Structure 1
Amino acid sequence: MGSLRLPRWGRVVAVEGVVPWLLLDPSGTAVEPVERFLRDFATRNRPASVRSYAYDLLRWWRWLQVVDVAWNQATPAEVRDLVLWMKQAAKPRRSPRTVSASIAGTVNPITRKRYLGDQYEPTTVRHSNAVLRSFYDFWLDVGEGPLINPVPLHRAPGRRPHEHHNPLKPFRPEGRLRYNPSLAKRKPRAMPDGQWNELFAGLRSNRDRAIVALAISNGARAAELLGVRGVDLDWGDQLIRVVRKGTHVEQWLPASPEAFVWLRLYLADLGVALEPNEPIWRTLRRRDHGDGLRRQPLNYEALRAVFRRLNVLLGTNWSMHDLRHTAAIRMSRDGSLSMRDVQIILGHAHLSTTADVYLIEDEDQVISRVAQHLATRDHREPPAPVTTGYADADLSVLFGRSL
């Protein structure tokens, strides 16, 4: 496994049409099985999901070139070997690491967050298995794929799927994939107030201050905030309207008065009036894309660049999603807000998601309370003095010191 290298076979390209992403072979021809699957998949999902699925299928097609197996003759053995290979292989990079080579896979001492390493994460392996399972389920329904899905479900020996449950035995999950690696449960951590103040002080423009202040006040995702237009601002009631990531439902969210002050200062810095249906977030520099020098809409990569500069300045590894966690934990610890309120603001479909993730105790606060308990607890009575009648000189010879 350690000597295997995936060939640079094919590529994923963006195209105009119903399917926004395609997988092309080395000759530039679309891979038909993948194209038909993505056409069906695109009718039910967002373009970003289509892109993610296309790249996972590109890795699978490259793996099939290595093991010399046709896509419609794949077995669970090929999927098993791919998982084994991904667990020890390094991710391909367009250019080698430079500054980040020494910190890859380590934990930041300030934020206590782990930097991404050079190997595939367990979440990536699980996503790859889910994509392949969905791909072969589609072809099994069509009737043109292999006889069985090469990504099997995990079941105990001698058990049938969805068999009658014995009340004396615990329930077992039926949908877990056999070759999925286990995930360590990670708890979200709120950004301490002192580090939040340092992060905010390091921002260099009113635009950055406005979007960060909005994120910390209502926990909206980065993609949701970047889609805000002029008509999505309610200045009187201090509300912003976002389109939720998963459901595409429009929702009004409250924002702090401070966030609207920074937003007003940012719009004044633009110097031009934006159209009501245009995105409000723009680049600080003007660029010419064929229509003259203009401020372009701010995209996710440009927002990530803002945090990269901040992290270099502060020695941290914060991201926009940390602001969402911080806002959620702050709201969950407010006695005037219920978990149902937090669920609605965060846009979670189920209350259990909000409660399981954010209804937790902060480890720093627990340690502080326990330390206070240890400092203030009743001390034991001191030991009784040595019985009279013994000379100190004799005791020093016996114990090596004077009592």
Structure 2
Amino acid sequence: MAVTAGSTAETVETVFRIESARIIAGVARIVRDVSIAEELAQDALVAALERWPESGVPDRPGAWLMATAKHRAVDLVRRRETYARKLAEVGRALEDVPPPEETADFDDPDRIDDDLLRLIFTACHPVLSTQARTALTLRLLGGLTTDEIARAFLTSEPTVAQRIVRAKRTLAQAGVPFEVPYGTGRDERLASVLEVIYLIFNEGYSATAGDDLVRPALCEDALRLVRVLAGLMPGEPEVHGLAALLEFQSSRTAARTGPDGRPVLLADQNRARWNRMLILRGAEALRRAGTGPYSVQAAIAACHARAVRYEDTDWQSIAALYGRLAALTPSPVVELNRAVAVSMAEGPAAGLELVDALAGERALRDYHLLPSVRGDLLERLGRGAEARTEFERAASLTRNARERDLLRERAARAGAGGPSRTGA
């Protein structure tokens, strides 16, 4: 079927965006280098842009791109080393790589899943910095361009490009194998993967800087990645724990901001706008979760999801779950969240006592949520002037414009003796 160059280009870009992670993963199995694999995947993209306007879009365009990229990978391997040596390295599978017209290898779900899992563990290897892992994961697995990643994290495109280049170089220099880890070190490697996905989601869910409170695209990327990972590793309870957490949190996205983009506090959210399908998916994932940190956080999120009204929230259970989370991963931030739950279960005075105990924590020195929570508790106790000071301090610390505006409004209301609404 003949198509125009413009429509073909759009089709190619769409297919490549969807299939790029699988293509890169499949090629990386042959060349054992994610940087070269990405280049060969891009070569396949260029080949499609050149050939499809004349030949038409194949019935299975993703399979065509995969086979083309793999053919080029085999050619590269054979040029670089003798055929016999490469056969010993990667096995006789090289001879079985089909040309673009043949797609049997592409249709092998077990092989594709194995390759994709290897790519996930390689991109999230602990040898890389957190920033590098995040950028590389979004590039290789999320299919984002460097410009899109830069805009998502409010940084420059050259900075992101440098991080990705350095990450690939580091993986090559460290000789990181393209494999799924087993035995010793597996838990650490899996923890690194989950951390990257969690960080991507959190940056989308509560942006640290900029004019928007929420960046839905990052949340969607993280949710897609964790769903893929849960499908590839069905026997890992903590993977399902993170999946449950992200499903529950994502269910509230539409209600967290008003029509003008202003934040809406949990107590004021219209729960009819919470996505019931995502809540059901979260509940299903939670049934397969374990007892690790992400699973406990998912259980906390489930308590909120089950409450039809804010007043129905089971704060006693949430406070107990935060206590369990604090035992698993001791952290001042976890203790701050526990203080909020305790204040709702036992009263603001009990919560304020816990918050004041955190005042000397260096990790919270410039954390805007510490004075924000303290201001909320003081406001609930009727100590408006003190609350105003705390809200003003919180506003001076946050780098997110939407949060800053909200905190300034709360400061003005507290100073005027207005009604209190918790930001829990």
Q: Give the shorter-chain TM-score range.
A: under 0.3
> What TM-score results when the alignment is normalised by the length of structure 1?
0.26
- Which is helix-richer, 1 or 2? 2
> What TM-score results when the alignment is normalised by the length of structure 2?
0.25
- Which is strand-richer, 1 or 2? 1
